Amino acid sequence: MQDNKGEHGINENEVNDSIENQEIPAEETTETQEAALDPLQKVELELTEMKDKYIRLYSEFENFRRRTSKEKMDLVKTAGEDVMIAVLPVLDDFERALKAIGTDESTKAIREGIELIYHKTLKTLQSKGLIKMEAVGKAFDSDLHEAITQIPVTDAKQKGKVVDEVEPGYFLGEKVIRFAKVVIGA
């Protein structure tokens, strides 16, 4: 075998093998490949890349549009939540006033006036999505009710159920905006 060592003692075959095995950066490879393509193939490749970018951009925009539309709908549904929460104590006061007035003939006109205002306010709030919870007689649910106290009951069927409602709970649509304060049978 012939020794191909140059004047500095380096084997030229080993140097050529190491150059051939050396990795060429990807940028140089694609530029070399593109140079080898004819102009029509370059345009077709560029068109394919542009179509892919367009489809991705269109898809991202559609997702953005759907997401913002959903967020707007959620915002509209609960936009009046703060106002509803602020008005709930007024409804409670109306209910307490109606209980306190009684059914005397002397307070009949006052009672009718308060009932009229109460029902009108309640109907207006209900038209905006306010729903009053029905709690008495139902099983205690910590997702809907806030237990104030427990009282002993004689009927075994009443154990673990709501026996009295101290303050009513309300939904706005499907969302609980105020938990019902209840008394549970023990």
Q: What percent of the chain has pLDDT over 70?
A: 79
Q: What percent of the chain has pLDDT over 90?
A: 24
Edge-to-edge strand list for the sheet holding 130-132: 130-132, 170-172, 175-178
What residue numbers bound the domain in which 97 lies? 81-185
pLDDT at 161 over 90: no
34 or 163: which leads in pLDDT: 163
Residue 128's pLDDT band (boundaries 50, 70, 90)?
confident
- Rounded alpha-carbon distances, angstroms, from residue 141 to 43, 102, 130, 172, 181: 66, 33, 20, 18, 11
Domains identified in the chain, total number: 2
Query: Is position 159 within any domain?
Result: yes
118 or 20: which leads in pLDDT: 118
pLDDT for position 23:
53
Which amino acid is residue 20, in one-letter code? Answer: E
Give the side-chain half-sphere CA count within 13 A for 173: 10
Same domain membership, residue 69 and residue 44: yes
Query: Is position 15 within any domain?
Result: no
pLDDT for position 15:
47
Looking up residue 96, the CATH number of its domain turns out to be 2.30.22.10
Same domain membership, residue 118 and residue 61: no
The residue out of 20, 46, 77 marking a domain boundary is 77
Residue among 78, 91, 137, 100 at smallest CA distance from 118:
91
pLDDT for position 4:
52
Query: Is position 156 within any domain?
Result: yes
Same domain membership, residue 178 and residue 127: yes
The rounded distance, in Å, linking the Cα atoms of 181 and 142 is 11
Which amino acid is residue 166, in one-letter code? Answer: V
25-80 pLDDT tens trace:
555 555 555 556 688 888 999 999 999 999 999 999 999 999 999 998 878 776 77
Angle between helices 108-127 and 81-101 (to 10 degrees): 160
